[in-house]
Structure 1
């Protein structure tokens, strides 16, 4: 099953997250199938490619709870 979830990047105490479509069984920092956007909680920046998101949802991908919260769904 494909999940849309956050993948952590950045340094210690300076997190930066990518929003990725990845197999459920892979690790958090595993190789994603697709990168959909990013979220920087320190600068409060958030950007996501809506077309890619809708495409993955049509294919049966499931949103992670943290991504649902970011999207406001």
Structure 2
């Protein structure tokens, strides 16, 4: 059984509140989970103490059992010092799309024509 440490969404519409849970990877996001490991409230300020709460001992237990954290939870664990910081490199995310490149080329061509 592959385990994940992930977020389970709660709260009302436009007022999200997440539980950090250990769950079977085959279960749905808000479905059945094995254990609640903490909470995450994205509505609080980034420097607020209550924004992310973790039960450190249980998180370490699940990591030792082979549970894989999702990307967002991995960032929480890195901030808490429970996991080594992973190197993230996505150079394509900073590149403009096809339409933006075409618009920029068109604008450069118009500027060049006006300069002549």
Which bin holds the TM-score, normalised by the shorter protein? over 0.9
- Number of paired residues? 73
From 50, 61, 68, the equivalent of 2:74 is: 68
Structure number with the higher strand fraction is 1
Question: Mapping of 1:41-56 within 5 angstroms?
Answer: 41-44=42-45, 45-56=51-62
Question: Mapping of 1:9-48 within 5 angstroms?
Answer: 9-44=10-45, 45-48=51-54
Structure number with the higher helix fraction is 2
Alpha-carbon offset, residue 31 of structure 1: 1.2
TM-score by length of 2: 0.60
Alpha-carbon offset, residue 46 of structure 1: 0.9
Distance in 1 (CA, whole Å) between partners of 2:36 and 2:76 is 16
Q: Secondary structure at the match of 1:4?
A: strand
TM-score by length of 1: 0.94
Query: Which of 1 and 2 has greater Rg?
Result: 2
Unpaired runs of 5+ residues, structure 1, are: none
Unpaired runs of 5+ residues, structure 2, are: 46-50, 79-84, 86-116
Distance in 2 (CA, whole Å) between partners of 1:70 and 1:55 is 16
Which stretch of the first structure deviates more once superposed, 62-71 or 12-21?
Answer: 62-71
